[in-house]
Amino acid sequence: MAKIIVTGAAGFIGSHLAETLLQQGEEVIGIDELNDYYDPMLKRKNVAHLHQLPGFTLIEGDMQFLDWQQLLKDVDVVYHQAAQAGVRASWGKAFRSYTERNINATQVLLEAAKDAKDLKRLVFASSSSVYGDAETLPTHEEICPQPVSPYGITKLAAEFLCELYHKNFGVPCVALRYFTVYGPKQRPDMAFNKFFKSILQDEAIPIYGDGQQTREFTFVSDIIAANLAAASAPQAVGEIFNIGGGSRVVLAEVLDTIEEIVGKKIKKNHIEKAMGDARHTAADVSKAQKFLGYQPQVSLREGLTQEWQWIKSLY
């Protein structure tokens, strides 16, 4: 049995990851400050059932101020998922929460990881937003990142910190650049969650811009599989990997699929394109395929159906 830390364990992705690890019989220390970026009650709900599983502890606190030297004793793997997510909200005064939660919190963890003798892997949740409006699609890890949002800049800075601590101190970091993640427990500020909620309430769904933007959507269980592989694949240390869902889709076409899933016509409300949103994203996952054996398993239709079932169960 390995001892594992999941930061951001009460969030969307962190709670799925903690659950999978616990089901595999691992000991999991979840760390989360349950901040109010979105309703903390939702986060409590995300982890409520984990307390029933053996091996789970939740430490509630801000990563920046925890005793990491103590926490990392005997820990084999850290999955660092905690962050201030959200591209559109990262402008203006809110930026401070992005630098603190994405850059400072990561640096504090890495600083302690330098001396953590048992630590075999530190998997960092990075983001496709580091690419911005990449000219090459699908995008390969080698292209020069050019974020178009303050959020993307903080994720890129944290990635660079991981690289620095790996090169200078041998911290066994791996960075995964997730492409838009969806599925049950998706954050309420994310598109599909908003869409499904609007449909349930018979309201028009908000669409930024003309709807012709394209996205690579990744189902959450594929993200979890990539994390597990990144923690064990021998040649992953010091590397960065794109983790995508396998295809790039036009938003307008996703809406057609959603109409089929919910079985009714949906009302649309086109609103102005948001600053910080990339026009297109698409992942070249060949490196993850080669090093991690990564292969996305869940189709968009199947994944959307699962998220729709989950949203319906909430109301």
The site for ligand NAD (CB under 6 A) is made up of: 8, 10-14, 31-35, 37, 43, 62-64, 81-85, 101, 105, 125, 127, 155, 178, 180-181, 187
CB of 47 to ligand NAD, least distance (A): 9
Q: Helix axis angle, 40-48 relative to 12-23, nearest 10°?
A: 10
Question: Which residues participate in catalysis according to the annotation?
Answer: 151
- Which of 241/260 has CB closer to ligand NAD? 241
CB of 226 to ligand NAD, least distance (A): 12
Give the tokens for residue 5.
Answer: 């830390």
What contacts 167, CB < 8 A, 6 or more positions away? 238
CB of 45 to ligand NAD, least distance (A): 12
- Which of 32/284 has CB closer to ligand NAD? 32
Q: How far is CA 308 from CA 130, 160, 162, 259, 278, in A?
A: 29, 37, 36, 11, 25
User: How far, in Å, CA of 192 to CA of 278, rounded?
Assistant: 17
CB of 10 to ligand NAD, least distance (A): 5
What contacts 106, CB < 8 A, 6 or more positions away? 80, 124, 158, 161, 162
CB-count exposure of residue 151 (10 Å: 0-12, 13-18, 19+): buried
- Which of 133/203 has CB closer to ligand NAD? 133
Question: In this chain, which residue has its C-beta nearest to ligand NAD?
Answer: 11
- Which of 34/119 has CB closer to ligand NAD? 34
Sign of CA dihedral 199, 201, 203, 209: negative
